[in-house]
């Protein structure tokens, strides 16, 4: 069973950089079938796709966050990470990592496995 687990500071000061790591177990992060994804949910609001990374290191970002965002991957540790710079209180959210099935011989594009989520609060 694939498991994803987020880790990182739960409190970040405004203007600083939010950093989170997702640890993957039960499946290979080196698989060419998946995009490793970050998704967030601000309090009382819906899900927002942040971006995803392929095992090769290719990244694709939400245009609204692209200028502040870096997603990286460490296949040797079976982890991928998120860095969001210059945060404001609007970046307060539950951040989740998830696995997107991207290559399946047809049109794929859904998330079967998710982490439990990490609440990150940005203080002013």
Partner 1 sequence: SLVLTQTPSVSVAPGKTASLTCGGDNIGSKSVHWYQHKPGQAPLLVIYYNSDRPSGIPDRISGSKSGNTATLTISRIEAGDEADYYCQVWDYNADIVIFGGGTKLTVL
Segment lying near partner 1 (by CB under 8 A), choices 14-22, 40-48, 65-73, 75-83: 40-48
Asked if residues 8 and 120 have their Cβ atoms less than 8 Å apart, the reply is yes
Helix H or strand E segment including 69 = strand 69-74
Binding residue for partner 1, selected from 102, 118, 120, 122, defined by CB under 8 A: 102
Tell me: does residue 116 bind partner 1 (CB under 8 A). Answer: yes
Q: Phi/psi of residue 77, each to 5°?
A: -100, 0
**At closest approach, how far in Å is the CB of 56 from partner 1?**
14
Strands 69-74 and 118-123: unpaired
Footprint on this chain of partner 1 (rule: CB under 8 A):
37, 39, 46-49, 52, 60, 62-63, 96, 100, 102, 107-112, 114-117
């Amino acid at each position: 069973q694939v498991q994803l687990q987020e880790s990182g500071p739960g409190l970040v000061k405004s203007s600083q950089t939010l950093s989170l790591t997702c640890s993957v177990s039960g499946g290979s992060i080196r698989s060419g079938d998946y995009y490793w994804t970050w998704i967030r949910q601000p309090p009382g609001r819906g899900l927002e796709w942040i971006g995803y990374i392929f095992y090769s290191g290719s990244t694709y970002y939400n245009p609204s966050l692209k200028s502040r965002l870096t997603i990286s991957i460490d296949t040797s540790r079976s982890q991928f990470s998120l860095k969001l710079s210059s945060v404001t209180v609007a970046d307060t959210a539950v951040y989740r990592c998830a696995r997107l099935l991207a290559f399946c011989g047809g049109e794929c594009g859904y998330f079967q496995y998710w982490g439990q989520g990490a609440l990150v609060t940005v203080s002013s």
